[in-house]
Amino acid sequence: MSIILRTDARAADALSDALLAQGALSVSVEDASAGTAGETPLYGEPGMPVETAWPQSLINALCEQCTDPAQLITAACARIGLAQSPDYRVEPVIEQDWVRRSQSQFEPLRISDKLWIVPSWATAPEPGATNLVLDPGLAFGTGSHPSTRLCLQWLERTIRGGERVLDYGCGSGILAIAAMRLGASVALGVDVDPQALPAARANAERNGVNARFINTETAPDFQADLVVANILANPLILLAPLLAGLAGKGGRIALSGILETQTEGVMAAYAPWFVMRVGDRDGDWALLEGSRP
C-alpha cells in the first residue's frame, strides 16, 4: 500500500528519512502543487537551501500491506521531534509485473541521425546507426534526460578519432561507451556511486568496448584530451580544480547538468584554466564547453 502525507519544506527530508527508518519500503517526494498554476519547477541539488524547496510537499511512502499507517507516521514524527502528525491518505498498490512496467518506460531513443540509445531488451529501429545498447540498472543515465543528450551530441560533434576521454560521474557508463563507439581510443569512467560501476561495466561489455570504470577513490592515471562531466552545478564548481588537472594541454571539457540560470557561476569556476562558453541548450538546461590553451 501507499501512504501519502502532506508536509512543508522544512519537514519533508527529515520525515522521509524517518519513514524509511521505521520500515517504509521506499519514499518519494513531489510538489504538492504539481499540475496546477502554483507548481514550482525545482531540481534537487546538493547544497540547495530549504527555503528554495517546495513550500508544500507530498511524501509517498510505499509500505507492506500489513503496516499500520497511523502507527508508522506517529513513530516517524516522534523520531524527528515533530509534535503534530501531518494529514495522510492510504491508497492500494495493484500487483503488477514491475520489471516489465519499468522496461516499458524506456524505448529506443534517437540522439541524432546516426546515434541511438537502445535498451538491452528492445530492437534497434535503425540497425545501420551507432546503437548504444544500454541497461541502466540502478545507475543514472538512460539518455532521456536533456543533460545526457547534450553530452552525447557534444561527443558526436567533437570526437574525430583516437581521443582519450574521461567521463567523470559516469553513472550507467553511457558517455564513456558512446565515446568509444564514436572513435575514441581510451575512455575512463569515474563515479562515487558503488552501484554505478557494475552497471557501467556490464553496459561496456554489451557494446563490445573496452572502457574502464573506477571509483572516485582511485586517481585517474592519464591526461584526457576530452573531459565530460554530467553532474550538477554545485558539484561541478567544487570539482573545477580536479577536472582541470585531468585535462591535458589543448584539452577540451564539456559540463552538463546545469540550468540556464547557473551557467555564469560554473563558467567563472573554470575560467582560470579554460576558455569557456555555452555550447548548446535543451529547454532549461545548458551544456558548457571549454578549451585549455
Domains of the chain with CATH codes: 2-91 (3.30.70), 101-291 (3.40.50.150)
**Radius of gyration for the chain, computed over Cα atoms and rounded to the nearest angstrom:** 21
Distances (CA, A) of 237 to 49, 84, 242: 17, 40, 10
* pLDDT value, residue 97: 47
pLDDT at position 89: 93
Q: Are 251 and 284 in contact (CB under 8 A)?
A: no
Of the chain, the end-to-end C-alpha distance in Å amounts to 58
Taking residue 23's Cβ as centre, other Cβ atoms within 10 Å add up to 14
Sheet holding 130-134, edge to edge: 109-110, 115-119, 130-134
pTM higher than 0.75, yes or no?
no
Kindly state the DSSP code that residue 45 receives in the 8-state scheme: -
Q: What is the pLDDT of residue 105?
A: 57
Per-residue pLDDT, 38: 67
Mean pLDDT of each 10-residue bin along the chain, 293 residues long:
88 89 89 73 51 76 90 92 89 62 66 86 84 68 80 96 95 94 96 88 93 88 93 94 93 95 96 96 94 92
> What integer pLDDT is reported at residue 100 of this predicted model?
52
Query: Residue 137 has what pLDDT?
Result: 56
C-alpha 149/C-alpha 126 separation (Å) is: 18
Q: Which pLDDT score, from 0 to 100, does residue 269 have?
A: 97
- The pLDDT, as a whole number, for residue 28 is 87
pLDDT of residue 143: 64
